[in-house]
Amino acid sequence: MNARLMVTSAALALVAGAAQAEDLTLCWAAWDPANALIELSKEYEAQSGNTMHFEFVPWTSFADRMLNELNSGGKLCDLMIGDSQWIGGAAENGQYIKLNDFFDANGIKMDDFIPATVTGYAEWPKGTPNYWALPAFGDVVGWTYRKDWFARPELQAEFKEKYARDLAPPATFDELKQIAEFFQNRDIDGKTVYGASIYTERGSEGITMGVMDVLYSFGFKYDNPEKPYDMEGFVNSESAVKGLEFYKSLYDCCVPPGSSNGYMGEGVDAYKSGQVALQMNFAFTWPGFNTDANVGGDKTGYFANPAGPNGDKFAQLGGQGISVVAASDKQDAALTYIKWFAQPDVQAKWWKLGGYSALRAVVEDPGFATSQPYAQTFLDSMAIVKDFWAEPSYATLMQSSQKWFHDYVVAGNGTAKEALDGLVADWHATFEEEGKY
């Protein structure tokens, strides 16, 4: 009898233990959407009884800090909203758990999410139904412009006289540069303003995100579609060279003085302080502009990347998926968070709080496009995305592009052709080390 009691008690204790409330830590970048996620997660805490903790790291050191955590098998993070390019390394090195079985068991279908976000944030190898993350935050590089300046009759007249077209959001990159030149060093309300804020940051990924955002529409391709990792003539094609030259010419002509090392934060500062007419930045910044005292409301407009010389239109993908860290001891509890997060009503609330949901039910809702002034631009931009390499060696590939792009665009060393040839050589060496040839 005593033995039976003991066994029953032990079983009950096990069951109670399994249902015991857990402390979960979610790791992400320190930015506005992270604050929205804290707010959103309160609902999860109330429903599950689990307590959420958050570890947010500024973008410029986010990759350093979190990849260090993953590589060292650290147990700090149970859930990771990691950058899209980490997916290859995290999958191949067993740092994220594979979610296919979990998705099947809980009726979560990847078809319910924007296809580009599934490919970009969840799949590895790309194009195969192997999922390591749930698309959590859709993001893409686009543009904001000073709608109030564009609307000034005297500026409209002057612009039309000079360029024989209306001062309006540009349809091509050439038009974008003309607008930037038009505003560069212009006096507006007694203050000198500048053409455009673009990415130039050297340390992490900034200038690569900016250059790629332009290069795609000029014809740049990562490799031969027929022969993977064959980059000669694709990365350094004539059209890619023209794209890089264009980016440098934009940097030389039209950025505010001292813009040699700027990324998202610096772009936000330049735009909110009224320094620039155009600003390149990820879509996550747009809700902040919309409510800003200086540039909010009708003062700001949004547009997707304009077309390149041949009419091609692409944009650099941002955003992340949410994964369960393989080193975590609380994987089951972490999965309950993903299950909760995938629900349509939670995703709808996520969008309302300022998070860019990747769920099609949310973005394809008839009211979505008009729900915010930037919603349509977000949809247009998400339809034309491309992403950087997501290979396990992504960090090495990224450092090579950072070096070559910054050296040419900002430091002014060599030519665009030399920079892209050097990039091909570096990337080739990296893939050779990886045994890709």
Cβ 424 vs Cβ 418: under 8 Å: no
Sort strands 23-29 and 276-282 into parallel, antiparallel or unpaired: unpaired
Minimal distance in Å, beta carbon 361 to another protein?
36
Determine, following the binding rule CB under 8 A, whether residue 258 of this chain makes contact with another protein.
Answer: yes
Site for another protein in 267-326 (CB under 8 A): 275
The 10 Å Cβ neighbour count of residue 360 is: 16
- Residue 305 contacts by C-beta under 8 Å, 6 or more apart in sequence? 141, 142, 143, 213, 214, 217, 313, 314, 315, 381, 384
Q: Which of 399, 417, 421, 428 binds another protein (CB under 8 A)?
A: 399
Determine, following the binding rule CB under 8 A, whether residue 71 of this chain makes contact with another protein.
Answer: yes
Q: Which of 33, 82, 88, 89 binds another protein (CB under 8 A)?
A: 89
- Exposed/middle/buried for 120, CB within 10 Å: 0-12, 13-18, 19+? buried
Q: Which of 106, 186, 396, 417 binds another protein (CB under 8 A)?
A: 396
> Of 47 and 72, which has the nearer Cβ to another protein?
72
> Of 80 and 384, which has the nearer Cβ to another protein?
80
Site for another protein in 128-187 (CB under 8 A): none
Site for another protein in 194-213 (CB under 8 A): 201-203
Question: DSSP letter string over 120-151?
Answer: IIIBSSTTSS-BS-EEEE--BEEEEEEHHHHT
Determine, following the binding rule CB under 8 A, whether residue 411 of this chain makes contact with another protein.
Answer: yes
Q: Report d(CA 253, CA 388) in Å as an integer.
A: 27
Residues touching another protein, count (CB under 8 A): 35
> Of 124 and 150, which has the nearer Cβ to another protein?
124
Determine, following the binding rule CB under 8 A, whether residue 412 of this chain makes contact with another protein.
Answer: yes
Instruction: Please report the sign of the dihedral spanned by the C-alpha atoms of residue 70, residue 71, residue 74, residue 76.
Output: negative
CA neighbor of 363 nearest in space, from 130, 114, 117: 114
CA neighbor of 108 nearest in space, from 382, 364, 379, 359: 359
Determine, following the binding rule CB under 8 A, whether residue 261 of this chain makes contact with another protein.
Answer: yes
> Of 256 and 267, which has the nearer Cβ to another protein?
256
Site for another protein in 45-64 (CB under 8 A): 63-64
Q: Which residues form the interface with another protein (CB under 8 A)?
A: 63-64, 67-68, 70-73, 89, 92-94, 201-203, 256-261, 275, 392, 395-396, 398-399, 403, 406-408, 410-413
